[in-house]
């Protein structure tokens, strides 16, 4: 086997790994780069591989930094199967067209307002490209061994990050390698714990929280305090959420707080993300893959008013608090939430609440770092609202949860490759593995190629 790193090196986005075994070429994950401009520009650069020569794609989960490049990959010549779990297929059917729509919308808006340096501004790909990619999605069940040809096989195992997420294990007649995907937490309120990792000769491991530990306190307590303080100011609590995972978790927590009387039952809650609305329906459909009962799923779904139309979304911006708005995207990088930021960030009685990882270069990271303004649609918007963070709602295992998960391996891998983390986080994850597990670990760079023997 030979492994080439084509993304998620030095950053938490753009996951892509090319695995070569015999005559087969398999791409593991096909994600978009997000965050810093120099990273986003990589989405436009030509890949060092020809998509038409790749035999198959394997997706660990549906998040855009793992799946969002797929429409462009298909546009540029890929025509093979895209293997994923059933829930990942269902989510990609929502996420990929939405990602295309956002890019088309932003290009159209840039052309209409004239703030793009490109004339005309073009989308990276279109909804038609996304639909062509969706046709290639080939769902498999957890634990099912897929024969990819030339003695190469792959199998999916639940890893607890989001609905449908998996770590994947490849093996040929000589070598095995596991790609962790994004690893979930052992005691997540929604998702089941990651399944024990299997033996592998090599391991590719994410490191999003490689330098951090999650707080052990109950996030509901801080959530209730933030909501109640903002309600007293007659303000709006605006929560940028990832449409898959965090939106459903926040709805469930808000339901629990209202049911317990910790926050007023009369506070209106709006889920303003068609993608999150659809993802909530899919979450309820795959009830065997998470912890919630049917009754809890129903309560989660009833907790908020589901906003679908653009007109209703615009009306929210003219409304006064108190109210709670959940809107995608989670890092405030696009979607309807940026229009809400324009409306609510300049007012000091409002609260902007972040509940997930914020990649460098995103508006979310800037606001958490204390920026007094953020750039939206070519203009700077003042940030006078209170900016809050609940850090332990993340769907990623922290470094100690990751170490504890790795301790379940039957024997140490020959080498562990640390990816999908900011530089400091990746290097700290390497140190934790070397010091606690005494394994050999390295942090690869973009386009590095290694032989797996």
Is the separation of the CB atoms in 419 and 402 below 8 Å? no
Question: By percentage, how much of the chain surpasses pLDDT 70?
Answer: 99
Maximum CA extent, the chain: 65
Q: 205 falls in which pLDDT band (50, 70, 90)?
A: very high
Read off the pLDDT of each residue in 86-95 and give the average, rounded to a whole number: 96
**Tokens at 243, concatenated:** 């449409």
Q: Which CATH superfamily is domain 2-212+395-451 in?
A: Ribonuclease Z/Hydroxyacylglutathione hydrolase-like (3.60.15.10)
How do strand 449-451 and strand 2-5 relate by DSSP bridges?
Answer: antiparallel
Given pLDDT bands bounded at 50, 70 and 90, which one contains residue 287? confident
**Is the distance from CB of 160 to CB of 191 less than 8 angstroms?**
yes
- Residue entry with tokens 């070569």: 20
* Continuous H helices in 69-162: 70-75, 86-113, 127-135
What secondary structure, in 3-state letters, does 364-399 show?
HHHHHCCCCEEEECCEEEECCCEEEECHHHCCCCCH
- Of the CATH numbers 3.30.365.10, 2.40.160.40, 3.40.50.10890, 3.40.50.300, which one belongs to the domain with range 219-393? 3.40.50.10890
Per-residue burial over 107-143, b = 16 or more CB atoms within 10 Å of its CB, e = otherwise? beebeeeeeeeeeebebbbbbebbebbbebbebbeee
Query: How many residues are listed for the chain in this entry?
Result: 453
Backbone φ and ψ for 319, nearest 5 degrees, come out as -85, 155
pLDDT in tens, 112-145: 776 666 678 788 999 999 999 999 999 999 999 9
Q: Which two tokens stand for residue 124?
A: 């990276």
Cis peptide before 322 (omega within 30 of 0): yes
Least confident range from 68-82, 102-116, 327-341, 405-419: namely: 102-116
Nearest to 206 by CA among 17, 54, 409, 4: 17
What's the whole-model pTM score? 0.90
Q: Compute how many other C-beta atoms are within 10 angstroms of the C-beta atom of residue 39.
A: 20
Residue 71 contacts residue 149 (beta carbons within 8 Å): no
**Cis peptide bond prior to 68, omega within 30° of 0:** no
Per-residue pLDDT, 268: 96
- Cα 372 to the center of its chain, rounded Å: 27
Using CA atoms, how far residue 453 sits from 1, 162, 288, 413, 448, in Å, is 7, 32, 38, 12, 16
Those residues whose C-beta lies under 8 Å from the C-beta of residue 65, and which sit 6 or more positions away, are: 8, 12, 13, 14, 15, 31, 32, 33, 34
Using the predicted structure, report yes or no on whether residue 437 has a pLDDT greater than 70: yes
What value does the mean pLDDT take over residues 399-407?
Answer: 97
Q: Which two tokens stand for residue 225?
A: 């305090």
329-370 per-position pLDDT tens digit: 888 888 899 999 999 999 999 999 999 888 888 899 999 999
Average pLDDT over residues 193-197: 95
- 245: phi then psi, degrees, rounded to nearest 5: 105, -75
Of 34-38, 206-210, 418-422, 426-430, least confident by mean pLDDT is 34-38
Q: Is the peptide bond before 289 cis (omega within 30 degrees of 0)?
A: no
pLDDT > 90 in the chain, percent: 80
- Per the prediction, the chain carries an average pLDDT of 94
Domain range annotation of the chain: 2-212+395-451, 219-393
pLDDT in tens, 44-60: 999 999 999 999 999 99
pLDDT recorded at residue 117: 65
Residue 190 · residue 290 · CB < 8 Å: yes
Is pLDDT of 12 > 70?
A: yes
Q: Which residue has the tokens 């409304």?
A: 319
β-strand partners of 23: none
């Amino acid at each position: 086997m030979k492994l080439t790193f084509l993304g998620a090196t030095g950053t938490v986005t753009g996951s892509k790994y090319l695995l070569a075994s015999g005559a087969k070429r398999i791409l593991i994950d096909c994600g978009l780069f997000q965050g810093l401009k120099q990273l986003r520009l990589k989405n436009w650069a030509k890949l060092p591989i020809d998509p038409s020569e790749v035999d198959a794609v394997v997706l660990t989960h549906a998040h855009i930094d793992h799946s969002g490049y797929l429409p462009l990959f298909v546009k540029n010549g890929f025509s093979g199967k895209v293997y994923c779990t059933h829930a990942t297929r269902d989510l990609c059917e929502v996420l990929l067209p939405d990602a295309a729509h956002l890019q088309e919308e932003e290009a159209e808006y840039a052309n209409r307002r004239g703030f793009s340096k490109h004339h005309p501004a073009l989308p990276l790909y279109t909804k038609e490209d996304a639909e062509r990619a969706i046709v290639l999605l080939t769902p498999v069940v957890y634990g099912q061994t897929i024969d990819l040809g030339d003695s190469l096989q792959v199998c999916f195992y639940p890893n607890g990050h989001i609905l449908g997420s998996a770590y994947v294990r490849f093996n040929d007649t000589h070598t095995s390698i596991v790609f962790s995907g994004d690893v979930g937490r052992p005691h997540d309120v929604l998702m089941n714990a990651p399944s024990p990792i299997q033996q592998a000769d090599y391991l590719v491991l994410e490191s999003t929280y490689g330098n951090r530990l999650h707080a052990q306190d109950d996030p509901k307590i801080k959530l209730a305090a933030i909501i109640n303080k903002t309600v007293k100011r007659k303000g709006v609590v605006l929560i940028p959420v990832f449409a898959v995972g965090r939106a459903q978790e926040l709805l469930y927590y808000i339901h629990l707080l209202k049911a317990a009387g910790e926050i007023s039952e009369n506070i209106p809650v709006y889920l303003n993300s068609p993608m999150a609305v659809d993802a909530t329906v899919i979450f309820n459909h795959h009830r065997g893959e998470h912890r919630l009962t049917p009754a809890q799923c129903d309560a989660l779904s009833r907790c908020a008013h589901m906003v679908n139309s653009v007109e209703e979304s615009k009306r929210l911006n003219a409304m006064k608090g108190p109210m709670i708005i959940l809107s995608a995207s989670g890092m405030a990088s696009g979607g309807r939430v940026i229009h809400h930021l324009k409306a609510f960030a300049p007012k000091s009685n409002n609260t902007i609440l972040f509940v997930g990882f914020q990649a460098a270069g995103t508006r979310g990271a800037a606001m958490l770092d204390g920026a007094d303004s953020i750039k939206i649609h070519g203009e700077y918007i003042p940030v006078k609202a209170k900016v809050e963070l609940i850090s332990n709602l993340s769907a990623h295992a922290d470094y100690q949860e990751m170490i504890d998960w790795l301790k379940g391996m039957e024997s140490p891998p020959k080498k562990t490759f640390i990816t999908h983390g900011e530089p400091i986080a990746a290097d700290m994850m390497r140190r934790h593995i070397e010091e606690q597990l005494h394994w050999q670990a390295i942090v690869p760079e973009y386009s590095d190629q290694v032989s797996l023997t």
